[in-house]
Amino acid sequence: MAPSIKAKQVRVAIYTRKSVNEGLDQQFNSLDAQREFVEAYVKSHAGDGWVALDARYDDGGFSGATTDRPAFQRLIQDIKDGQLDVLAVYRLDRLSRSIDDFAQLMRLLEKRNVAFVSVTERFDTTSPMGRMVLNLLASFAQFERETIAQRTRDKMSASRRRGMWTGGRPVLGYDVFEKALVVNEAEAVTVRRIFQTYLDLGGCVAVAEELGVLGIRNKAWVNQAGEQTGGAPFNSSTIHWLLTNSLYRGLVRAQDDLVEGQHDAIVDEELWDRVQRKLKAQAPGGKSRPKRKTSAMLSGIARCRCGAALTPTNSKRKAKVYRYYICSRAQKQGKGACPGTRIGAGKLEEHVVEQIRRLGKDPRIVEAALLQGGQQRAEERTRLQAGLKDLNRSHGELLRKQNKLVAAMGDQGTSAALSKGLKEVEEAMADINERIEAARRDLQALDKAGTSADGLIQALAEFTAVWDTLTLDEQARLLDLILDAVVYDGPSGAIEIRLRDMEPIGAEAAA
């Protein structure tokens, strides 16, 4: 009689799961019932060398919609470590309710030469039929992913075609309200200022340096996790991105096209076009940047009562050049769009300069500037302190989470899931610590630095002494520091001067 050949031992890991905790405190619960059923199946294959491992992989009170389950993660690690030959479950949905997750697990099992068995459904990858079903499941999972991705792209493209904003990082000048862009008026002033500063200085690096001196930073917002983010200093790249962002012109990019957006523009057509021409001229291979030719020191500041820019222009008669400011809306759309404001450039500029000379000597203006500057400083301090409080609270929550993970490692031993979780918490804490330090530096800088109103007072006080010694470009830069806008009302001849960071000082007709 020929000696019997002992089958090679096949190590079988049994995984069980129940979605709710109800009944798990019973002496013999649902997890026990699943394991008993699978153990019986394993014993029926004892002749093939099948042996159920003593290690238990039981997840009680965990949904199958996610793979974030402690026993499941231990199982995955043991598969990678070569601790089993067969994975057996009572039913497929005990392992996962996600086709995509299931397909990923099957790929791991195939890579590690581990077979899979679902006892009640007779799903067994040790057989040709089982492997065919596995391939079908993988194909359906891939189809599901590709279909969802394509539908998402199609939906976003269709939304953009209708001028809708489809998400992303919030941009300076806009807030997000009910998934739509709404103009933030205070930030919009900063955006227009950046556009004009670029025209004045002629370079993104110079603009970034100017904004750094003034303490102007990029957009700050609260993310979905309730954390304060953004607010970084500007650099040449972020300045260029801002200057070329068509959202500010009221447009939305749909693939290669620009369509009219459903949000309001921040930058008017005239200012946008001037900046784009200058950027194009400065681009590699473009023409060299032309020197300033206009002698209009109020360019970008002077505005018509209708809201449009007053564009500098000139005419020549008998070898003499006459300079004017003309309403750009009337110039482009005709007198029907605006009665047509036109004023001699010299007359307007001389009036504005004389009014500023007077302002520097008016104690009421100085007092109002100091009061408003103090209010601005207090509001900014309150905002920074609130942000710092939120950051400290987030730091405390992360610290508690870190302690729980460390304690879990002490009780359960190190696992891939716990190690990954701990690493993510440590990275988040490092980021929070950096932001806390940045917030503290901002508070210290606020206490040391003067307000924008302080700068205005200084500029007004020094105006008369330095004005006549400045070049045309320097005069334009000084006016830009002091003025937010000069509004001219053609029919009445009234000129309203708006100082930066202060209420308008009133309208007065030019002499």
- The answer to whether the pTM exceeds 0.85 is no
Q: Please report the pLDDT score of residue 47 as a whole number.
A: 87
| CA dist., res. 435 & res. 235, Å (int) | 18
The torsion angles phi and psi of 231, rounded to 5 degrees, stand at: 75, 20
pLDDT tens digits along 98-146: 666 777 888 899 899 999 888 876 666 666 666 666 555 555 545 555 5
Q: Please report the pLDDT score of residue 75 as a whole number.
A: 96
Q: Please report the pLDDT score of residue 401 as a whole number.
A: 82
Mean pLDDT of the chain: 76
> For residue 170, which amino acid is it?
P
> For residue 211, which amino acid is it?
L
Residues shown for the chain: 511
Closest CA to 195 of 266, 275, 269: 275
**Least confident span in 36-40, 232-236, 336-340:** 336-340
pLDDT tens digits along 342-373: 888 888 888 888 877 776 666 555 555 555 55
| CA dist., res. 32 & res. 190, Å (int) | 66
**DSSP conformational letter for 414:** -
Residue 59 and residue 71 in contact, taking contact as beta carbons nearer than 8 Å: yes
Q: Does residue 176 register a pLDDT over 70?
A: yes
| CA dist., res. 59 & res. 63, Å (int) | 9
Q: Is 496 exposed, middle or buried (0-12, 13-18, 19+ CB in 10 A)?
A: middle
| CA dist., res. 127 & res. 303, Å (int) | 81
Residue 217 and residue 172 in contact, taking contact as beta carbons nearer than 8 Å: no
Q: Which domains does the chain have, with CATH numbers?
A: 10-142 (3.40.50.1390), 174-282 (3.90.1750.20), 297-502 (no CATH)
* Portion of the chain with pLDDT greater than 70, in percent: 68
Residue 236 and residue 205 in contact, taking contact as beta carbons nearer than 8 Å: yes
| CA dist., res. 87 & res. 346, Å (int) | 88
Q: Please report the pLDDT score of residue 1 as a whole number.
A: 46
Q: Please report the pLDDT score of residue 439 as a whole number.
A: 73
pLDDT tens digits along 331-343: 776 667 777 678 8
Closest CA to 297 of 447, 478, 161: 478
| CA dist., res. 20 & res. 60, Å (int) | 7
Which tokens hold the place of 132? 């065919």
Q: Please report the pLDDT score of residue 463 as a whole number.
A: 62
Q: What is the 3-state secondary structure (H, E, C) of 344-406?
A: EHHHHHHHHHHHHHHHCCCHHHHHHHHHHHHHHHHHHHHHHHHHHHHHHHHHHHHHHHHHHHH
Which tokens hold the place of 125? 């990858």
Q: Does residue 15 register a pLDDT over 90?
A: yes
| CA dist., res. 396 & res. 388, Å (int) | 12
| CA dist., res. 286 & res. 33, Å (int) | 77
